[in-house]
Structure 1
Amino acid sequence: MKKLTQLTLIYICASFLFCTNITAQTETEEVYKELEGKVIDANLKDPLIFADIVIKDSNISTVTNADGEFLLKIPEKFFDGILTISHLGYEKREIKISSLNNHEKIDLTAAITKLDEVSITTTKKDAKSLVIETLSKKSELYNTNNTLMTAFYRETIKKRRRNASLSEAVVKIHKQPYSNLKRDYIELVKARKNTDYTKLDTIAFKLQGGPFSNLYTDIIKYPEYIFTKETIDLYNFNFDKSTRINEKLIYVVNFKQKENVNDPLYFGKLYIDAETLALTNATYSLNVSNKELTSQMYVRKKPRKVDVYPTEATYRVNYRTKDGKWHYAYSNISLTFKVNWEGKLFNNVYTLSSEMAITDWEIVDEKLAKNKSQIIRPTTILSEKASGFSDPRFWGAYNIIEPEKSIESAIKKIQKQLKRT
């Protein structure tokens, strides 16, 4: 089974700042307006995380952040269009864009699932057979065209609860058809990074792979990172309570490695459309109980006198459907590590998080062309000079994931630190 994510740790001087300049392409100027809002539960008023925000009859979209907030840049031709808001387990809403005000709260009502409907349909298959059939349907249910996707990628590093680094990028994903085995490649459009290494205790965490780590969570395109013909028999599968999304019944399948299996495998939930058997969402984690083996999976390079091992590794992937075909839409990764220095009494805890959202896409009829000067590789470590954070117009018309308040605060603190140094 292949590795989803790799980490590089380098012993450095606290005052050292690593920066790589990345050439940015200039996006085409166009008229757009920004729409900010928040999606909440209609009853509990709690924020809804990872809700899909899509302009109807387009491929323009974003997702809500950890506070349920979103920021969507709407091109002029869609000013009179419809905004579609959906979330797993909730009824879909469609609202006229012209009727929405900035900072408006949009509430979604929890969907009701009929127990008799669930009990009848789920008895037709056992959970493992259902998963195997779902994985076999990629050529039938998923996009089989060459697709050029615009995506926003964000990567953060925290030492305990303090933000130490923030990297962001707009990328073009040259998405190969799900019907073939060719691997996707990524073209860098624009990127920026702020890092305050004084908060990292002389350890520089670098997430190798950058956007590729999130792209590989696409279980349908890359099943070898979780389920292979050899490993799928090492899991137990069972049905959980079903749910709904966009008025469709969704099976929920739990999976977990068998008790007699010692190798670190994954556990989590698969959300499968009851009618088509398409995978709509997945949330899963790595079993990190074996410190030595899980450390080998994630840590590629570290100082000799340091022990590093993961205490948590969680993943999420969401898919969207358009014209009857599903495609990768969003994913996030959260990795927490303990770092023990030889001879030191206390250890440190670091959390590395990354997320990537598809914000627009188009079918490309001809063979995907490579812009070699901007192509990044799966071994890439995303770095960029810090100056971009001083320019509020840095992203232009590109859609991004609305930052959490803690991230916005971290940016300001890092800016002050850079000015002092």
Structure 2
Amino acid sequence: MRPIIFTSFRHTISVQLSTLFLAALLLGFQNVKAAFFQQEESQNYEQYKGVVKDSESKDILVFATIAIEGTNISVITNTEGEFLLKVPSSMTDARVRISHLGYDDKIIPLSELKSSNNKIYLDIAVTELSEVEISMPKDAAEVVRKALSKKGDNYLGDHSIMTAFYRESIKKRRRNVSLSEAVVNIYKQPYSSSRKDVMKLYKARKSTDYSRLDTIALKFRGGPFNTLYIDFMKYPEFMFENGQLDYYDFSFGRTTLINEKPVYVINFKQRPDISLPLFYGKLYIDANTYALTSAIYNLNVENRKEASEIFVRKKPARAEVYPTQAAYRVDYRQNDGKWYYGYSNVQMVFKVKWKNKLFSSTYAISGEMAITDWKKNTAKEFVQPRERLRPSVVLSDEVSGFSDPNFWGDYNVIEPEKSIETAINKIRRKLRRIKS
């Protein structure tokens, strides 16, 4: 029997193409007045800029986490290894923990950080273990099943409200043609609950250079939900639907030590007799608690026709559109012995080939979201249906653009990569010329 893996997945991650520039979904972004629990004007803050690198090779470390100990404040390094951390001025005695998969954590007093040009080096900590040093299960698939069955024990069991920063971009070849950013509130359900999380928009801005999109308009349908649904432990059905673990081959990689804790590395890929596009990659599972700490994986897009049907909702008749890459990553963080969703990333590359045209166009679409603060939802706050973001949302083109440098206030964001920063600065210059 053929698996039906993408019933839900197709709904949450899709790309929309059309010869016309489709009207953006108007979600009333300008009228959103609800405040987050982290109020923008509530207190002064200090900001710290820097870069995180490998202590030996001096290579930059992407997706490193910089967090304030004893709080839920954190941020992620960008593709250049850079970070911008905003901390309330009252936290004079705070300590900063810097962590990255495969490296020893480093703890630095906040007082030792400068406002800019901080260089932080992490030491490699992954140590290979022989099977003699740890009791190895016989079945890798059973480890995955056990991790899924223990999510109620290992992950947050409380209702919580999380502040998250989301960014998506579309590039044609190597040039940015669309940039979107948003701060959202995630009303997170307990991991043991089957109820889906709810999101509410606080701030958003976007700019699109349609002249570089030729006659194609790409819409990243799903927006922040694309990254939220990669929370594997909350939404395992989007990778392994009920009973579909049997469609995969699981095997052990070399068990490792990460921060002095043994971690199983589980490789997985679709069975050779399964023809539909499924996933392949690695799962990092704590050997003692069976908590999934990270997952890095790809979608098999070798079958061009079927892979295209997953993502492309609408396209011009004269164009062939198909993905050449679909990569995903999710990282979890721990607080008081409980794990929770901390960061996720989606990277997709599409090829657009027109009939009777010699050359094709390549578009790279990416989305990433990081939890920057959270609290327990002890008051059982909820979002009215009319205020909720829809899982089919497309961030509006009708927001304020990139004209306000203080747009985010004291919210922690992911530092933009250099190419994005350059594009934003160009947009700002255009806006200044228009105003003058």
| TM-score, normalised with respect to structure 1 | 0.95
Q: Is the 8 A contact 1:17 1:195 kept in 2?
A: no
Structure 1 residue 302, shift from structure 2 partner: 1.5
Letter in 1 for 2:20: I
1:175 aligns with 2:183: no
Corresponding position of 1:96: 109
Aligned equivalents of 2:391, 2:158: Cα separation in 1: 23
Structure 1 residue 46, shift from structure 2 partner: 0.6
Aligned equivalents of 2:304, 2:408: Cα separation in 1: 40
Aligned equivalents of 1:37, 1:243: Cα separation in 2: 29
Aligned equivalents of 2:402, 2:23: Cα separation in 1: 16
Task: Describe the superposition over 1:236-289 as per-residue Cα deviations: whole angstroms up to 9, x where unpaired.
Answer: 111112333333222111100111110000000000111111000000000001
Corresponding position of 2:119: 105
Corresponding position of 1:336: 349
Q: Is the 8 A contact 2:25 2:393 kept in 1?
A: no
Corresponding position of 1:288: 301
Structure 1 residue 329, shift from structure 2 partner: 0.4
Structure 1 residue 371, shift from structure 2 partner: 4.2
Distance 1:386 1:367, change over 3 A: closer
Corresponding position of 2:326: 313
Question: Secondary structure of 1:78's partner?
Answer: coil
Aligned equivalents of 1:288, 1:337: Cα separation in 2: 11
Letter in 2 for 1:186: M
Q: Is the 8 A contact 1:92 1:245 kept in 2?
A: no
Question: Secondary structure of 1:212's partner?
Answer: helix
Corresponding position of 1:189: 202
1:74-153 to 2 correspondences below 5 Å: 74-101=87-114, 102-116=116-130, 118-121=131-134, 123-153=136-166
Distance 1:126 1:410, change over 3 A: same
Corresponding position of 1:249: 262
Structure 1 residue 307, shift from structure 2 partner: 1.3
Aligned equivalents of 1:165, 1:313: Cα separation in 2: 19
Structure 1 residue 202, shift from structure 2 partner: 1.4
Question: Secondary structure of 2:29's partner?
Answer: coil
Q: Is the 8 A contact 1:146 1:368 kept in 2?
A: no
Aligned equivalents of 1:167, 1:374: Cα separation in 2: 20
Aligned equivalents of 1:36, 1:186: Cα separation in 2: 29
Name the Cα RMSD after superposition.
Answer: 1.9
Over the matched positions of the two proteins, sequence identity in percent amounts to 50
1:9-408 to 2 correspondences below 5 Å: 9-12=17-20, 20=26, 22-23=29-30, 24-25=32-33, 27-29=39-41, 30-101=43-114, 102-116=116-130, 118-121=131-134, 123-385=136-398, 387-408=400-421
Q: How many residues align?
A: 418
Structure 1 residue 109, shift from structure 2 partner: 0.5
Letter in 1 for 2:159: N
Aligned equivalents of 1:76, 1:254: Cα separation in 2: 44
Structure 1 residue 346, shift from structure 2 partner: 1.3
Q: Is the 8 A contact 2:40 2:411 kept in 1?
A: no
Aligned equivalents of 2:178, 2:223: Cα separation in 1: 14
Aligned equivalents of 1:125, 1:414: Cα separation in 2: 57
Task: Describe the superposition over 1:193-225 as per-residue Cα deviations: whole angstroms up to 9, x where unpaired.
Answer: 011000011111101110001000011110111
Task: Describe the superposition over 1:50-87 as per-residue Cα deviations: whole angstroms up to 9, x where unpaired.
Answer: 11111000000011111111001001232320000011
Question: Secondary structure of 2:309's partner?
Answer: helix
Distance 1:17 1:376, change over 3 A: closer
Aligned equivalents of 1:147, 1:174: Cα separation in 2: 6
Q: Is the 8 A contact 1:87 1:245 kept in 2?
A: no
- Which sections of structure 2, spanning at least 5 residues, go unmatched? none
Task: Describe the superposition over 1:19-76 as per-residue Cα deviations: whole angstroms up to 9, x where unpaired.
Answer: 8561244644111001111111011111111111110000000111111110010012
Structure 1 residue 91, shift from structure 2 partner: 0.7
Letter in 2 for 1:9: L
Q: Is the 8 A contact 2:185 2:199 kept in 1?
A: yes
Q: Is the 8 A contact 1:388 1:394 kept in 2?
A: no
Aligned equivalents of 2:57, 2:170: Cα separation in 1: 31
Q: Is the 8 A contact 2:162 2:375 kept in 1?
A: yes
Aligned equivalents of 1:295, 1:136: Cα separation in 2: 33
Q: Is the 8 A contact 1:39 1:48 kept in 2?
A: yes
Q: Which stretch has the larger CA shift, 410-419 or 181-190?
A: 410-419
Aligned equivalents of 1:192, 1:136: Cα separation in 2: 40
Distance 1:55 1:290, change over 3 A: same
- Which sections of structure 1, spanning at least 5 residues, go unmatched? none
